[in-house]
Amino acid sequence: MSYQVLARKWRPRKFAELVGQEHVVRALTNALESGRMHHAYLFTGTRGVGKTTIARIFAKSLNCERGESADPCGECAVCTAVDAGRFVDLLEIDAASNTGVDDVREVIENAQYAPSRGRFKVYLVDEVHMLSKPAFNALLKTLEEPPPHVKFLLATTDPQKLPVTVLSRCLKFNLKRLLPDQISGQMRHILGAEAIEYEDDAIVELAHAADGSLRDGLSLLDQAIAYGGGSLRAGDVRAMLGSVERGQVLGVLDALASGDGAALMAESDRIASFSPDFGGVLDDLATVLHRVQLLQLVPGYRGEESDAALAAVAERMAPEDVQLYYQIATSGRRELPMAPDARIGFEMVLLRMFAFRPSEPGQASAAPAPRAVPAVAAPPSRSAPAPSPMPAAAPVQRQAPPAPAPVPAPVQAPAPPPPAAPRPLATGANGLPDWHDVVERANLRGPIGQLAQNCSLRGMEGDAMMLALQPSHMHLAVEPLTSQMEEKVSQALGRRVRFRFVAETAGNTGGSLGTPAERRAQAASDAQANAEASMETDPLVQTLKREFDARVIPQSIKPVEPGT
């Protein structure tokens, strides 16, 4: 008997064997058990998520010899014929190759005849969006008023291309992309049944490479088993897929966090030695950055792969830097096909991350002090006149050698100036310290900065600061953000402070809490208004409006940033 690929051998035969798509299975099961079945169903979703499989199981449920049921027996002549693809009353039509109106007319003409063996004649139209417009028009009447013994099951990967007249006549089910955990669980089940040895890391690599499609994942599994000579090892899978270990990607982030360009290029060379798919490496880099950001910003987050290495990277990198690196990785992934060479494009992405890494305060190197250069007499120019001949030498009287010049005392570097006294805090209109000035001095950024920017200082009692928040922002005042903000503000003020947060509506304060975020928004609004007014009064703009009936689009006007 010839070998049967895993995707076909392990295709589900019952609803209970389906992986994922519980929302579709529940709806179809209830419809079958209650007898409230529609005449046309549309299954949408990406490739390999079970559209055709669900349609075939539904056809078996309708025509099983033991009666209509959500759990067909799988043993009767009808069930075995459907599984083998030879049931006469299940007509599978590939719309990609039968797009014309003549093909649809043949379906319509045959639909009026009663089924030969089953209770229903089932038409399964795959990739239905490929039908031509005349073919859709010919199908509409039958879809709207089909014979009672006909069911239409339509499947497509691109529902946007279907006419709304067809969509309105179908019950639509959107099949979801499968999660890596669902794909890896099915792979482990299959490998156990097939008695094939495997490594867990190999399964994880294949599940991620499947990209939400179980069929693609099982095809890759077949390929990996053949590549590994009957077993499944992580090293073989990575070599087959052109992927690298997560540790290599973490090495890149570690070099970026250290600001070590040489180490960064060494990591790039190490990755290149595996001859990987550099696009996939950038995808892996973006995925790890996503997990790092979750560890940083979501208190108590524990992902499936959150370990000490990820936590260490999360501690060393600022949250806003992780966002920047993620943006560079994803944009570099899109630009990779335009690079002269995939490796060059990959290295330029890493160098872009390195070039835009943040500089810590005090890192900027001061200009070197000028060195004292000894004065040296210049040789006479060739064009200078020759010295006049010496007159006859008179007798020279010998003189005593001059006394040696005293050695000058070493010159001291001037003493550094004493540190400037810290600038006193600005005072607000209410006589309290200006909270905006406090936030700037404490250099609050990231989630802590988001909390601080939406606060307003309402009072002080000893070391306690009462901070007002809009009720819609009270969810920000949670641990560990509040304690971290207390620590940073205490360091900036030189004394220990504690916070008390109160909910306060803007209506109690004339429509505004006076928070730094509101100040910044008002400043941006004023700058925008000034920019629009300046544009309207510009002579050239007025000429264009007068001569060419032009108009100014306010949304296209951007204020000039200070210093540009």
How many residues are given for the chain?
564
Decide: helix, strand or coil at residue 91: strand
Per 3-state DSSP, the chain is made up of helix, strand and coil in percentages (nearest 5) of 50, 10, 40
- Whether the predicted pLDDT of 263 surpasses 60: yes
Stretch 36-49: mean pLDDT, rounded?
90
Phi, psi angles (nearest 5°) of residue 173: -125, 120
Structure tokens at 560: 């000039």
DSSP letter (8 states) at residue 503: E
User: How confident is residue 348, by pLDDT bands cut at 50, 70 and 90?
Assistant: very high
Res. 131: pLDDT tops 80: yes
Look at residue 468 and give its three-state secondary structure: strand
Which residue, 454, 451, 456, 450, is CA-closest to 429?
456
Mean pLDDT (whole number) for 286-292: 91
Give the model's pLDDT for residue 29.
Answer: 92
Candidate ranges 352-356, 446-450, 491-495; pick with highest mean pLDDT: 352-356
Say whether 126 sits in a helix, a strand or coil: strand
User: What is the band of 556 on the pLDDT scale with cuts at 50, 70, 90?
Assistant: confident
Whether 44 contacts 162, CB under 8 Å: no
Instruction: Pull the structure tokens for residue 187.
Output: 């792979």
- Dihedral sign for Cα atoms in the order 324, 330, 333, 339: negative
Q: At what angle do helices 278-297 and 319-335 cross, to 10 degrees?
A: 160
Burial tier of 43 (Cβ tally within 10 Å: 0-12, 13-18, 19+): buried
Query: How high is the pLDDT of residue 386?
Result: 45
**pLDDT tens readout for residues 307-328:** 778 888 888 899 999 999 999 9
- Name the token pair of 555: 């949304």
Strands (E), 483-547: 498-503
Tokens of 347: 């290295």
Rounded distance, CA 530 to CA 72, Å? 72
CATH number for the domain running over 6-174: 3.40.50.300
Question: Is the per-residue pLDDT at 49 higher than 80?
Answer: yes
Which has the minimum average pLDDT: 101-110, 165-174, 393-402?
393-402
User: What would the pLDDT profile of 405-452 be if each residue is shown by its tens digit?
Assistant: 555 555 557 655 555 555 667 776 677 888 888 888 888 888 888 888
Higher per-residue pLDDT: 278 or 508? 278
User: Which residue's entry shows tokens 């009026």?
Assistant: 112
Q: Over the stretch 359-368, which tens digit does the pLDDT of each residue have?
A: 554 444 333 4
Residue 183: its H or E element: helix 180-194
For 39, how many CA atoms within 13 A lie in the half-sphere containing its CB?
15
Nearest partner of 124 among 101, 90, 82, 84, judged by Cα: 90
**CB within 8 Å of 175: residues ≥ 6 apart:** 21, 24, 43, 44, 45, 49, 50, 51, 54
Determine whether 506 is exposed, middle or buried from the number of CB atoms within 10 Å of its CB (0-12, 13-18, 19+).
Answer: middle
Q: Is 387's pLDDT higher than 50?
A: no
With a pLDDT cut of 90, the percent of the chain lying above it is 28
The crossing angle, in degrees rounded to 10, of helices 180-194 and 214-227 is: 50
Strand-strand pairing, 464-469 and 455-461: antiparallel
- The CATH number of 180-241 is 1.10.8.60
Cβ atoms of residues 188 and 205 within 8 Å = no
Mean pLDDT of the chain: 82
Q: For the ranges 133-147, 360-374, 518-532, which has the lowest average pLDDT?
A: 360-374
Better pLDDT: 114 or 385: 114
Q: What's the whole-number mean pLDDT along residues 267-276?
A: 87
- Nearest 5°: CA angle at 139, between 135 and 143? 160
User: What's the pLDDT score for residue 377?
Assistant: 40
Q: Rounded CA gap, 325 and 286, in Å?
A: 8
203, pLDDT greater than 60? yes
Contact 463, 503 (CB under 8 A): no
* Tens digits of residue pLDDT in 457-484: 888 888 888 998 888 888 888 888 888 8
Max Cα distance, the chain (Å): 145
Token pair recorded at residue 489? 């503000």
How far apart are alpha carbons 312 and 240 in whole angstroms? 30
Helix, strand, or coil here: 500? strand
Which of 192, 130, 187 has the alpha carbon at shortest distance from 155?
A: 130
Q: Which CATH number fits domain 435-514: 3.40.50.2300, 3.30.300.150, 2.60.120.10, 3.20.20.140?
A: 3.30.300.150
Render pLDDT for 56-75 as a digit per residue (tens, 0 to 9).
Answer: 999 999 999 988 889 999 89
Cα separation of 224 and 163, whole Å?
41
pLDDT at position 523: 84
When comparing pLDDT for 544 and 188, which is higher? 188
Q: Which amino acid type is present at position 523?
A: A
Q: How far apart are CA 533 and CA 209, in angstroms?
A: 54
Compute the distance between CA of residue 201 and CA of residue 238 in angstroms, rounded to an integer: 10
> 462 in the Ramachandran plot: left (φ > 0), alpha (ψ -120 to 50) or beta?
left
450-463 in b/e form (b: 16+ CB < 10 A) is ebbbbbbbbeeeee
For residue 76, pLDDT beyond 70:
yes
pLDDT band at 398 (very low <50, low <70, confident <90, very high): very low
> For residues 178 and 49, is the Cβ–Cβ distance under 8 A?
yes
Looking at residue 390, its pLDDT comes to 43
CA–CA dist 197, 192 (Å, integer): 8
What is the share, in percent, of the chain residues with pLDDT greater than 70? 83
Whether the predicted pLDDT of 6 surpasses 60: yes
Return the SS3 of 28: helix
The stretch 516-522 carries a mean pLDDT of 84
pLDDT at 403: 54
Domain ranges of the chain: 6-174, 180-241, 246-355, 435-514, 519-556
Q: Which of 101-110, 137-146, 357-366 has the weakest average pLDDT?
A: 357-366
CA angle 246, 252, 256 (to 5 degrees): 145
The verdict on domain 246-355 having CATH code 3.40.50.300 is no
Which alpha helices (DSSP H) does 259-400 contain, by range? 261-272, 278-297, 308-316, 319-335, 342-355
User: pLDDT band for position 511 (50/70/90)?
Assistant: low
Q: Over the stretch 148-165, which tens digit does the pLDDT of each residue have?
A: 999 999 999 888 889 888
Whether 249 has a pLDDT exceeding 90, the answer reads no
Look up residue 174 and give its amino acid: N
Integer-rounded Cα Rg, in Å, for the chain is 38
Q: Which of 184, 177, 265 is nearest to 221 (CA)?
A: 184
